[in-house]
Each structure stands twice: as C-alpha cells, then as structure tokens.
Amino acid sequence: MARRNEEVEALLREYADLVAITGGDAFKARAYEKAARAIGGHPADISRMDADGLREIPNVGRSIAEKVVEYLRTGKMAVVEERRAAIPAGVRELITIPTLGPKKALRLYEDLHISSVNELAAAIEADALADLKGFGEKTQENIRHGIELLQRAGARVPLPPALDTAEEIVAALSGVAGCERCAYAGSLRRMRETVGDLDVLVAAERSAPFMEALCALPVTAEVVARGTKKTSVRTAEGLQVDLRVLPAESWGAGMQYFTGSKAHNIRTRTIAVHQGLKLSEYGLFDIESGESVASRTEEEVYARLGLPWIPPTLREDRGEIEAALHGELPELVTERDIRGDLHTHTDLTDGLAPLEAMVEAAAERGHAYYAVTDHAPNLYMQRMTEEKILAQRERLRALDGTHHRMRLLHGTELNIGPDGEVDWPEEFLAGFDLCVASLHSHFDQDRAAMTGRLVRACENPYVNIIGHPTTRLIGKRPGVDADWEEVFAACARTGTALEVNAQPDRLDLCDEDILRAKAYGVRFAVDSDAHSVPHLAQLRYGVGTAQRGWLTRDDVINTWPLPRLRRFLRKSGRR
C-alpha cells in the first residue's frame, strides 16, 4: 500500500469533515469524501503524479488534483491548515460519535465550548445540554449511547505514534531540573501492538515542576486532570498521557507496578502475600513491621520475591512467572541480534526507493545480509516480468558486498494462489536465493480451502517464508480463517519459516500465534517488508512482537550467520 495515498486519503477525509462542521455545503464535503476513498484505494502510488495523472483517478477533479499536488510538493494543504486553525481537533473527534452529525458538533462547540468527547460526556452527565435547542431527551440518550460505542471500540493507538510521543515526552522531562529518572511504562514498555494510553514515570523529590512541564509541552493539546501525584494530558491526536512522579527510592516498585500487565501484577502480588509481604507502587513491604524491604530497582523487587528480573515484553501472565520460578525464562531475541532483513521492496514494484538506495540504507543499519523481494507477476498491477526481475538480479549481483561488505540475496514475494500455487515455474524459482510467499487475494475462502492452500505453499520446495501469514490489518481487517495448528505443523515439517511482519499495522504473525507456532518447532523471519528507506527502521516493532511471542535467536532465521541461513533456505525436494 502506497504511503502517500494513505496520507492524502486521511487529509482529504479530514477536510471533508472540517467543511461539514464549519457549515460548508454538503455536496462539497461529499466530493472530498469520495476523492479520499478513490485515492486511498488507488492501486498506483500517487507520489510522483502530476495534476493530469491524478485527474485520471475516478472522483478526482481539477481543484482536488491541484490540492493534492500542493501537498505532494510542500507537505501541506493550505485549505486544511486554515480550517484546522478555526476548529479545535477535539470538535472533529465529536463527529466520530455515531449519531452525532457535524451540525450538532458545531452547535456544541459554539454554544457550550465543548471540544472533546470527554467534555461532551461530562456535559451530558451534568445535564448542561437541557437548554440547547435540538438536544432533547431522546437526542441526548442517542449521543450517550454513541459515546459508549466509541469508547468500547477503544481509541487504541498504533505503536509508532505512541513510541514517538513517549520518547519525546521522556526526553523533555529528563531535561527538567531535579529529574533523577524518567521512563515510560505501561503497555508501551511491554510493546503491545496497540496502546490505550501512555504511562510516564519520573523519580524526583518535587513533582510540581514536572506536572507543569508536561502541561506546557508542545505535544500537549489538553490537560485532563492535574494533581501532585498524577497528571493526565491529551495530545492533539487524542492520545492520553498519565504522568506520575515518585520518590527515587520507589523507582523500581513504581516501574514494576505501572508496567503491568494487570494480570502479571496480580501474580506478583499474590507471591508477595504468600511471603508475608505487600507489593505496591511504592515498594515491597513487610506486612507486620510495615518496613520497606525492596523498592529502588525492579531487579531488587523481583529478587526479593524469589524471581529473576522478567523482561517487560513477557509480563502478560502467559507462563512467565512459572518459567521464572524454574529458571527457564527465554533469552529473548533483540534488535541487535538481527543480521539481515529478508522481505523488502524497491521501486521496481510498489516500493518508493530504487534498489541502490535501499541497499545503501540497509548497509548503514549494520545488516550483514539483505534480501530484495519484489512482487511477482500474479499481482497484476505491479507488472512484473521475468526480464525485469532478471535485470534487477544483475544489478543486485553487481552491488553485492560493495556497501560495508553486506551480502545481498535476490528473492521475490510470490503470490499464493487460490489453490496454493505460486507464480513462475520451478525452474525459474530455482534461480532465486530465497522466496517469500504471501496471500494477496481470495481472503474469504473457507477454513478447509485456506488451510490446504497454505499447506501446499509450505510444501513448495522453493517457498522459504510465508509472508504476513494471516493478512490481518490491526483494527481494520481480521486474519483469514485457517486451521493454524495444521499450518504450523506443515511449516515445521517442510522447513518453511513464518514471518513476523514488522509493519506496525500488520504485526503478523501476532504474539499469541507466534507462541502457538513455536510449540511446533516452527522457525521465524522478522522482516520489515520495507517499501521505503524509513520503513527499514520498523523492524523494532517486529522484534517487540517476536519477544512477546517468546522468540530467541535460535528461533529467528535472520539472526543466524549467513551459511546457516543458506542451509535453511535449501529446502529438501529442490532440484
């Protein structure tokens, strides 16, 4: 999926909303809405299109095409900037409430200065809407229900913006005078695939300067609650940040408590109770004497409970306590262990950067080897041919070893057809160093057909890695239905690795599936599936997910030295 298309889709949608809220004509808002959808779903990357090219996309007229060109050139769309300045971000959030339209949202903002869903909920609670025309009993009930729906859907945030925001806040607060420690905890530290809110901790004697600093940060759009122990703010994107300041001697206990998960903490607290101890965010206390017995570091707290330090990515009560008690915690794979990326694209298909740029950037990242795996012909819109991919192979061989001695592997991302067949005959596949094979169509086959299809792909002697195995898109598309136990068994039997695709909206396989597959002895490849140079850095999300799936270096083929990897890639049955 082309990134620019997505950005422009989001921007045009926002503009449509802003037009509707500010009372612009409904026809115009709809026109932008339709253009947004067309560009988002357009198969070709718009990033290098001019206005004429854009106008060939259905529902994109001259005026919209010009605005898109403006955005592609400057990174901004002036009309959107103008309307944004007039309407707080929270008002746009209001119209995401099912049953609340733009007209009502504007009225709430103009008459009652309500500019967020929380403020609206509070206003209804306080019966502040009673005198507002058009907001009778029934309407209020509908809105209340709409807010519930919205909150149940859970405005969880994907990892990248959560990490960026957390790192920015930690950097800023670390610079405030009196800061002894600062870090983020919560689900982000555990690298959950989405994050409900950020939990930031500071160790310091006085809390006020940090609460003040947080409220004054550029990322802070709204102060939700301010206190001496805890302050909560919200960013313009609607991400809530909870800041807690605690004394330095409680740092370890605080980090342990606020890292969670709740399920993990229930286990640690129970262990404490059995030893006559009480565990809180301030420390581990002797129940009888009330004296603190451990609190300064997490290691100390776990040690006093009779446990080794447990990596945050394991703290989900999925067996880590038992493993820790038996001294059997896995030595988790880290980003430093990754020696190469085995699934990446170039502008020969839907990537944004040319081969040379991708190779250079990968070498700069310190990779020892790197595979280029552009799309195969059956993904028709990519227009791949044998000639094109062979020409790429020649260029790639010429580049091999030229950047920091990084070795290059020539691969392709095959399409697993409806019956498990893949692109190209075996003689041609034999010319690749490795093949990724992925589902790109026919997602709604029934379970038996899908299972057979995936098993057949595994049995292909040239298929080394199943790319983004379930094809789920987090919060948007569920994974395909298959008998995964059977697929995992087939992977283990045939020497086919399963991918942990690091794209933050995929993270596919997910942590729980990884755990199940690992039990079958399956190997994994943690890949960026990069379509541009910046995407190469997304590996960290894949590594986080791999850790949550308990993977060690030995489980992950792209941590292995190249000779071992090459042996794995030579599956049995190959000619």
Q: What are 184's two structure tokens? A: 């983020």
Q: How far is CA 383 from CA 242, 380, 439, in A?
A: 49, 5, 18
Total residues contacting ligand DGT (rule CB under 6 A)?
A: 14
> Residue 158 or residue 452: which is nearer to ligand DGT going by CB?
158
How far apart (Å, rounded) are the C-alpha atoms in residues 358 and 174?
A: 35
d(CA 33, CA 15): 8
H-state helical runs in 382-422: 386-399
Asked if residues 91 and 109 have their Cβ atoms less than 8 Å apart, the reply is yes
Q: Do the Cβ atoms of 203 and 173 come closer than 8 Å?
A: no
Q: How far is the CB of 264 from ligand DGT (least distance, A)?
A: 8
Whole-angstrom distance, CA of residue 160 vs CA of residue 46:
23
Q: Exactly one of 115, 165, 187, 445 binds ligand DGT (CB under 6 A); which one? A: 187
Whichever of 508 and 529 has its CB closer to Zn ion, that residue is 529
| Distance from chain centroid for Cα 146 | 27
The residue (of 260 and 351) whose beta carbon lies closer to Ca ion is: 260
Virtual torsion, Cα 6, 7, 13, 19, nearest 10 deg: -160
Taking CB under 6 A as the criterion, the residue among 146, 186, 238, 330 binding ligand DGT is 186
CB–CB of 197/242 below 8 Å?
A: yes
Instruction: Build a one-symbol-per-residue string for 209-248: x at contacts with Ca ion by CB under 5 A, - elsewhere.
Output: ---------------------------------x------
Residue nearest to ligand DGT (CB): 260
The nearest distance, CB 135 to ligand DGT, in angstroms, is 32
Binding ligand DGT (rule: CB under 6 A), the pick from 71, 135, 258, 484 is: 258
Contacts with ligand DGT, 217-256, as mask; x by CB under 6 A: ----------------------------------------
Min dist CB 269 to ligand DGT, Å, is 6
CB-nearer residue toward Zn ion: 298 or 413: 413
563 burial (CB, 10 Å; 0-12 / 13-18 / 19+) is exposed
Helix (H), strand (E) at residue 8:
helix 3-21
Q: In whole angstroms, give the CA distance from residue 575 to residue 570.
A: 10
Which residues form the interface with Zn ion (CB under 5 A)? 413, 529
Closest distance to ligand DGT from the beta carbon of 310 (Å): 14
Q: Identify what 413 binds: Ca ion, ligand DGT, Zn ion, none; CB under 5 to 8 Å per kind.
A: Zn ion
* Binding status of residue 316 toward Ca ion by CB under 5 A: no
Question: Which residue's CB is nearer to ligand DGT, number 319 or number 534?
Answer: 319
**Half-sphere exposure at residue 303, Cβ-oriented, CA atoms within 13 angstroms:** 9
Binding range to ligand DGT, per CB under 6 A, among 191-199, 284-292, 421-429, 508-516:
191-199
Respond yes or no on whether the N-terminal peptide bond of residue 399 is cis (omega within 30° of 0): no
DSSP code string of 157-217: EEHHHHHHHHHHHHHHHHTSTT--EEEE-HHHHTT-SEESEEEEEEE-S--HHHHHHHHHS
**Would you count residue 196 as binding ligand DGT (CB under 6 A)?**
yes
- Rounded to the nearest whole angstrom, what is the least distance from the CB of residue 184 to Ca ion in the complex? 9
Of 231 and 295, CB closest to Ca ion: 231
- Figure out which of the listed residues 199, 298, 374, 433 binds Ca ion, where binding follows CB under 5 A: 199
Residue 280 in the binding site for ligand DGT (CB under 6 A): no
Listed in order, strand segments (DSSP E) in 295-361 are: 340-341
Residue 197 as a binder of Ca ion (CB under 5 A): the answer is yes
Nearer residue to ligand DGT within complex by CB, 227 or 418 = 227
**Residue 294 in 3-state DSSP?**
strand
The residues binding ligand DGT (CB under 6 A) are: 186-187, 192, 195-197, 199, 257-258, 260-262, 265-266
The residues binding Ca ion (CB under 5 A) are: 186-187, 197, 199, 242
